[in-house]
Structure 1
Amino acid sequence: MADLRSMVYDKSSKLNDSEKQIVQFVLNNPKDCSKLSLAKLAKKLYVSESAIFRLCKKLGLSGYSELKFDLVELAQSRQQPIKIENNFARELSKVNDDVLKYFKQRDFNSLYADLDNAGTIYIYSTGWQQELIAQYLAHELFVVGKHATVLPSALDELKAASRFAKKGDVLFIISFTGDNKTINEEITKLELVNDKFKYVSFTDMKQNKLASLVQHNIYFPTIAFTDDGDYKSGKVAFTPAYYLIDLLISEYVAWHQSQREDVEVNVGN
């Protein structure tokens, strides 16, 4: 059943000025009006009882009793705070579990080898959220002794980096979808004329053009902050991306240590 406000909205074009004034008053004061008899409400508004009864009929109500019932419901709805369903904590835990499973299923040894051999690691991002991820990745690489340069989100900077890069340097491209046509075209051109870089894509979507252009691809999911459709509007958390970076860096450290131990064993033999 439609609520009173919907009825008023649907029938507003058929109401005269006097009826609109009555409607405005009862909608603004539903709790008080729901306690009044037809006679008392008519007296309070300086209108006839028949005028209020005709208004009820115009709105599609059976009579004044139904109007009072709808006013009670309207008053109660205003007293109850709007509760937005928020399962973010639960979803975050679930998605991080999925990220861990994904990470354990992947073999990143070749990526670790390229990171180890790189003199400089360049990180290019395609948006402000991606740039924050780029800064975090650069910091974590620095902590483990790898020099990383975060490039501004401009094609000219990407082209300049390709000129200064040395053989074996690594270029991360952090993109939300991986389907930025301009960036993908530039990466394709770079690969044709520049054999210095080892390319790594870091994207949200698993099926994307960028991932097909690079030697290494890494995928991260995002999470909406709320289940309420009115509040989504692109508001998502990139927490899993940071979690995945931590997993990669920690595993790279373990891989690097194992490589050193293997060398020491071989030298000892």
Structure 2
Amino acid sequence: MNLETLENEHFSELNETDKEIIQFINRNRAMVRESSLAAVATESLFSKSSIFRVCQKLGLTGFSQLKYLLQEEANQVQDVNIDFVSQTVKSVLWMSNQFKSTKLEDIYKILSDASNVFIYSTGWEQQIVAQQLQRNLYLAGKMAFSFPSAVDEMSLQRTHIDANDALIVISYSGMNETVLKMVQNFNLQGVKTIAFTSFRQNKLSQIASYNLYYDTVAKNVQYQNRKEQFFSDLHVLIDLFTMGLINYISKTDSRRLKRSDDDDWYSK
């Protein structure tokens, strides 16, 4: 998905000011992808809120996703002799900074309170990560069940998931229609859904209750001389996510213990 595609899809929703902002972005792509929202607002003479609203009208979550989209477009035209180690380090650092700025209290509370946690993944690499996440949740004191990466098996288990449970879906494209329909059905049943998905624009991020984002690094490999995706971001993301959950549970338990001790003291 590129910026031109989004502009064409949402053109009828744009007013004249929106179109002027988009024209500025198209003329200054390099500056926009390297600048903050405040800097772009100052340079363009449009307000930060106006630029942010344009991003949302294009179907993006906000200015950060616009910058990411522009960066992806730039990467596609870079020289083939790219340093993939540096690119991977940069990608992991970017994902980590995005993670640090994400409000996670609600997600952690859902997982902490859930009767059961279920994990569903699409793809071979995502299935490996799902099993690692299952192990991490166990270390955090939460039992989780990771479904095989097959939608039919997930459908068979659907009646066993209710509003007291949480469902984590790991998908890179976020565009599988069968998975999207499954998540929508769970939403209707009151099940809280948490998506680990690409920062690129995708439908799963729009319908899931909560989202955590990662990226992949594409590299040509000798095997059949083809381009493969490497999921370094996702592996680091689930570890960061679990460490945060462990911290949340520990703090919650400490507060409960303190309240219990206070109640005991006042009752004496």
TM score, norm. by length of structure 2: 0.62
Query: What CA distance in whole angstroms lies between the structure 1 residues aligned with 2:129 and 2:221?
Result: 24
SS of aligned partner of 1:225: strand
Counterpart residue identity of residue 200, structure 1: I
1:212 corresponding residue in structure 2: 206
Match of 1:151 in 2: 147
The residue type paired with residue 252 of structure 2 is Q
Alignment of 1:10-49 (within 5 A): none
Aligned pairs, number: 182
1:1-269 alignment, distance < 5 Å: 85=81, 87-192=83-188, 194-195=189-190, 197-225=191-219, 233-269=226-262
Q: Residues 216-246 of structure 1: CA distance to partner in whole angstroms, max 9, x if unpaired?
A: 1111111123599x95x44121011010101
Equivalent-residue separation in structure 2 for 1:135 and 1:215 (angstroms): 22
Task: Give the Å deviation of 1:206.
Answer: 3.7
Structure 2 counterpart of 1:179, one-letter code: M
Q: Which amino acid aligns with 1:218?
A: L
* Distance in 2 (alpha carbons) for counterparts of 1:186 and 1:165: 12
Question: Which of the two has higher C-alpha Rg?
Answer: 1
Counterpart Cα distance in 1 of 2:259 and 2:104: 24
Show structure 2 runs of 5+ residues with no match.
1-79, 263-268
- 1:120 offset after TM fit, Å? 1.8
CA RMSD of aligned residues (A): 2.2
Tell me by how many angstroms 1:209 deviates: 0.8
Instruction: Please name the residue that 1:70 is paired with.
Output: none
Q: Distance in 2 between matches of 1:165 and 1:190?
A: 8
Cα distance in structure 2, aligned partners of 1:255 and 1:188? 28
Q: Is the 8 A contact 1:119 1:166 kept in 2?
A: no
2:171, 2:216 → 1: CA distance?
Answer: 12
Q: Any unmatched runs of 5+ in structure 1?
A: 1-83
Whole-angstrom CA distance in 2 between matches of 1:185 and 1:166:
16
CA distance in 1, matches of 2:193, 2:227: 28
Distance of 2:210 and 2:98 partners within structure 1: 15
1:166: how far off?
4.1
CA contact (8 A) 2:195 2:212 kept: yes
